[in-house]
Structure 1
Amino acid sequence: MNLARRSITQTNPVQIFNTQFDADCQIFTTVTPVGFAVYQAWPLKLLRKRELNGGTLAAAVPCHTSSLLFLLGGGRSPLYPPNKVILWDDVAGVEVAELEFREKVGGLACRRGWLAVALRRRVVVFEVHETVIRRGEYDTCDNPRGVLAIATGSYATLLAIPGRQMGHVQLVQLPPCRPPEPLGPPPPLRPAKPSTSTVRHSVSIIAAHESPLTTLSVTPSGRLVATTSLRGTLVRIWETSNGKLLKEFRRGSDKAEIYGVAFRPDEKEVAVWSDKGTIHVFSLTLAGGSNRQSSLSPLAPFLPLPKYFDSQWSYAQYRIPAQAAHISLSSTSSVRSPATDLAADEKCVVGWIKVPAEIEESVQEYQLIALTYSGGWYRLSLPLKGSLVNHSNVSGIPQDQYHKASSTSRQRTSSVSSINSVPDRGKGKERDKGRDSHDLILEEYRKYGRWDGWG
């Protein structure tokens, strides 16, 4: 009997319609065909789940770590009409309010006490307390992606939306965001407001790009805004106080769809991810010495070189393994099935977290959490910048450095899943190798999206 060689794969692959972090990346929500769930971002933990009957959701947007969620209907059998936003109290398990519009809702952005809803050519702002009050409406250019961003830090005021002209950004000032409610007894002295609340914004429009905007991101303080366009090659960082271009980063040389940009909370670095399945990290420091540049860039003041050669490239990156949701157990390498959806595997959402440093637990370091729509949860640490000095300015045009298979091989345990069935080379060797390259270091990999104990 001659049997064809087949790979053993998941019989029921994870289907995730949407996944989103809260403003502080402490929790994230995920929407599946049967309902939605709320997870702790790190350590990964299922906090609560909600199975829904009668339809599916397009998104469940968390408002910080409160029990309030904003639900949007979507999918083949929407639970709610696409022109409605449902305010859901997940502790009580009931709808507390609904907002109805005359057209489909494109996107949402929220902070404590405020909600902004993006429609096709306008953005509507609401104040959300015991009641929901409509506070303003702003015209935009055609915005089919529902692009908008809101500053979520204490006393921040910024709302960034598309302007009336294509590629422009409109800066709207809202009332200051109230700080989070303190846990336990109140402090004897009320903390002073940060200096960012006194910053005056002299501009309300930034001419960011010549093509349509695809993403907008702001820092928690509202001091910086990041923009990307339909071309998908450049990420521009602007100062909101004066509208000046602070940095321009090049994601790559070929066109891509940039899914998002995430600022590190201390505003020193920024992460960018796209449909190429790669996460890029850029330094925002004034010198920007960590970012890579062409070896010809010092000649730019003396020779009429194209702007391409003066670009800043990411100093670190990570390639999401294409086989993350399709693991082969029959051979030493994972083989993607032709039926596997590539776009679903590579689409991800990225956020910054703080974890204790390995050298000294009292010191905390920033790391990245990447959530794929195929159910992969990745915790990534940054390489040491000192080890990157010798790698900069080596070639005329820097190329993306993707994570090697050995960096993703992990020992099979009950809490960490293996991505590739290759021999484990040891955690220490893996980390040392990552410290000497441009690759982000895979610290932990797990699966989420299933509610039967696997997630």
Structure 2
Amino acid sequence: MNLARHSITATNPIQIFDTRFEADCQIFTTTTPAGFAVYQTWPLTLIRRRAEFTGGTLAAAVPCHTSSLLFLLGGGRSPLYPPNKVVVWDDAAEEEVAELEFRERVRGLACRRGWLAVSFRRRVVLFEVGETIVRRNEFDTCDNPRGLLAMATGAYSTLLAFPGRQMGHVQLVHLPPCIPPTPVGPPPSVLPSRPPPPPSKHPVSIIAAHESSLNTLTVPQSGRMLATTSSRGTLVRIWDTLSGKLIRVFRRGSDKAEIYGVAFRPDEKEVCVWSDKGTVHVFSLMSGPCNRQSSLSPLASLIPYFDSEWSYAQYRIPAQASHISLSSSTSSSRSPTADITDEEKCMVGWIEAPSDRSEPGRDPPMEYQLIALTYSGGWYRLSLPLGTSNISSPSAGGTPLSSSPPKASSHSRPRTNSVSSITSRTEKGKEKERGRDRKDNRELILQEYRKYGRWDGWG
């Protein structure tokens, strides 16, 4: 009888090279070694898959808002297209309709109806997309290896944001207003949105957002605000894009992290932030005590660390092995160069869904929820904690924001010049805050978990 020890490992993780939402999060695209697919975000449904690509792999399939166009980038160990080329794919016609070739590697893309922005290491090139694609402008940037870009996609929005010429700065460019899409079917019951009045003064063109290099740039569909994070990965700053003023400062955590992204709720009342720590944090943009405050906020004048707001709710994405019945052996090892994606890397977006907590016998109201997509093929639907203002409202777009971060408590404490005294108080405050967090921690609620990618029979 053979009694040798055999290790039983988990099934190989799904190789998802990229996944991203369309601007309104109704659909998302994902690329794998087998091609790319388009999904309905909720209920999770595979709309179509394109596995006919042979001879190489795709790095990304970027959907253009409310159109059948996708912008394809080659990538991986065997790229389907050269890294200096953008291919325009018409998914309705199921064919390539154009390609853009450059002298250097493409770093990032941002698009809306009629416009495409392509970022490179030190420049951004702007194209108008119609019957033909016409190059319209070019802008210089600082070193931008991530290819950061953000473009507002809402009706009549104009904003395009990208890194400025100096590190940590953001340059704002205003394009022609985005024309609303032509409605399909019977006339809508709700009147279409009207163009906003022109600004009373010329908008700012540069925002000095951070002292260190930028890590993410995000704008809501209206383009009224801008969220920035830096390479330090601790703070999220919210800016008014018209005046350039700082609106709010949110703290993701106290330790350094790589922030993967920031997403505004459609009514611009909240934002969510996710990072390589595997956590999703939610912050309120409304005036009031919803976000958590540091217990040492009275020391903000001495230590700026305590002047920021902390998330009022969060969720930790489980490791992939927690959803597999046979976990991998601790003795197994993988090559660091293998095409294995990070289990906790994810993309997060907002949706409107019927509330799961409605009263019996009544139609459930629509509420805002979160969808988290992991690069290992996990699909999570998360709802906000009870008691939060997350009910959808058709007229919620014009919510006023506070013009400055909430002020710290006015309780006076005697100042001291002793560094050791401040340090001691700081450490005690941190311990007290950790204990309070353990008691008052408000978790996002997992409503539904599913898998996509190879789990739906492809990839």
Q: Indicate the TM-score class for this superposition, using the shorter chain for normalisation.
A: 0.7 to 0.9
Calculate percent identity across the aligned residue pairs.
Answer: 70
Alignment of 1:372-391 (within 5 A): 372-385=374-387
Alignment of 1:69-88 (within 5 A): 69-88=70-89
Which sits farther off after the overlay, 88-97 or 337-346? Answer: 337-346
Query: Is the 1:62–1:69 Cα contact (8 Å) retained in structure 2?
Result: yes
Shift of 1:323: 2.9
Say whether residues 1:311 and 2:311 are aligned partners.
no
Q: Which ranges of structure 1 fall in alignment gaps of 5 or more residues?
A: 388-392, 403-432
Match of 1:447 among 439, 442, 451: 451
Query: Is the 1:124–1:138 Cα contact (8 Å) retained in structure 2?
Result: yes
Query: Is the 1:323–1:335 Cα contact (8 Å) retained in structure 2?
Result: no
Q: Secondary structure at the match of 1:351?
A: strand
Tell me which residue corresponds to 2:263: 262
Tell me which residue corresponds to 2:206: 205
Tell me which residue corresponds to 2:433: 397
Say whether residues 1:321 and 2:318 are aligned partners.
yes
Tell me which residue corresponds to 1:279: 280
Task: Tell me how far apart the structure 2 counterparts of residues 248 and 189 of structure 1 sit (CA, whole Å).
Answer: 35
Alpha carbon RMSD of aligned pairs, Å? 2.8
Task: Tell me how far apart the structure 1 counterparts of residues 58 and 244 of structure 2 sit (CA, whole Å).
Answer: 37
Say whether residues 1:231 and 2:228 are aligned partners.
no
1:233-280 Cα distance to aligned partner (Å, 9 max, x none) = 110000011000001111111111111000001011000011111111
Tell me which residue corresponds to 2:125: 124
1:101-146 Cα distance to aligned partner (Å, 9 max, x none) = 1110000011111111111111111111111111111111110100
Q: Which amino acid is 2:64 matched to?
A: C
Task: Tell me how far apart the structure 1 counterparts of residues 295 and 190 of structure 2 sit (CA, whole Å).
Answer: 54
Query: Is the 2:118–2:126 Cα contact (8 Å) retained in structure 1?
Result: yes
Tell me which residue corresponds to 2:354: 356
Query: Is the 2:66–2:113 Cα contact (8 Å) retained in structure 1?
Result: no
Alignment of 1:21-420 (within 5 A): 21-51=21-51, 52-185=53-186, 191=192, 193-195=194-196, 198=199, 200-287=201-288, 289-297=289-297, 299-300=298-299, 304-324=301-321, 327-329=324-326, 338-339=332-333, 344-358=342-356, 359=358, 360-385=362-387, 396-398=432-434
Q: Secondary structure at the match of 2:170?
A: strand
Q: Which amino acid is 1:274 matched to?
A: S
Task: Tell me how far apart the structure 1 counterparts of residues 266 and 198 of structure 2 sit (CA, whole Å).
Answer: 17
Say whether residues 1:438 and 2:442 are aligned partners.
yes
Query: Is the 2:7–2:329 Cα contact (8 Å) retained in structure 1?
Result: no
Shift of 1:163: 0.5
Task: Tell me how far apart the structure 2 counterparts of residues 219 and 320 of structure 1 sit (CA, whole Å).
Answer: 24
Q: Which amino acid is 1:265 matched to?
A: P
* Distance change >3 Å, CA 33–CA 399, structure 1 → 2: farther
Task: Tell me how far apart the structure 2 counterparts of residues 385 and 24 of structure 1 sit (CA, whole Å).
Answer: 25
Query: Is the 2:341–2:376 Cα contact (8 Å) retained in structure 1?
Result: no
Tell me which residue corresponds to 2:5: 4
Q: Secondary structure at the match of 2:320?
A: coil
Shift of 1:339: 3.5
Q: Which amino acid is 1:382 matched to?
A: L
Tell me which residue corresponds to 2:400: none
Task: Tell me how far apart the structure 1 counterparts of residues 189 and 249 of structure 2 sit (CA, whole Å).
Answer: 45
Task: Tell me how far apart the structure 1 counterparts of residues 192 and 388 of structure 2 sit (CA, whole Å).
Answer: 37
1:367-394 Cα distance to aligned partner (Å, 9 max, x none) = 000000010000001102469xxxxx99
Task: Tell me how far apart the structure 2 counterparts of residues 352 and 293 of structure 1 sit (CA, whole Å).
Answer: 25
* Distance change >3 Å, CA 140–CA 321, structure 1 → 2: same
Task: Tell me how far apart the structure 1 counterparts of residues 108 and 18 of structure 2 sit (CA, whole Å).
Answer: 12
Q: Which amino acid is 1:444 matched to?
A: E
Greater RCO, 1 or 2 (C-alpha within 8 Å, sep 6+): 2
Query: Is the 2:16–2:341 Cα contact (8 Å) retained in structure 1?
Result: no
Task: Tell me how far apart the structure 2 counterparts of residues 241 and 300 of structure 1 sit (CA, whole Å).
Answer: 32
Query: Is the 1:123–1:139 Cα contact (8 Å) retained in structure 2?
Result: yes
Task: Tell me how far apart the structure 2 counterparts of residues 370 and 154 of structure 1 sit (CA, whole Å).
Answer: 26
Query: Is the 1:107–1:145 Cα contact (8 Å) retained in structure 2?
Result: yes
Query: Is the 1:127–1:134 Cα contact (8 Å) retained in structure 2?
Result: yes
Q: Which ranges of structure 2 fall in alignment gaps of 5 or more residues?
A: 390-428
Task: Tell me how far apart the structure 2 counterparts of residues 400 and 194 of structure 1 sit (CA, whole Å).
Answer: 46
Shift of 1:7: 4.3
Shift of 1:13: 2.5
Query: Is the 2:71–2:86 Cα contact (8 Å) retained in structure 1?
Result: yes
1:190-242 Cα distance to aligned partner (Å, 9 max, x none) = 84524366575431100000111110000110000000011111100000110
Q: Which amino acid is 1:397 matched to?
A: E
Task: Tell me how far apart the structure 2 counterparts of residues 201 and 264 of structure 1 sit (CA, whole Å).
Answer: 27
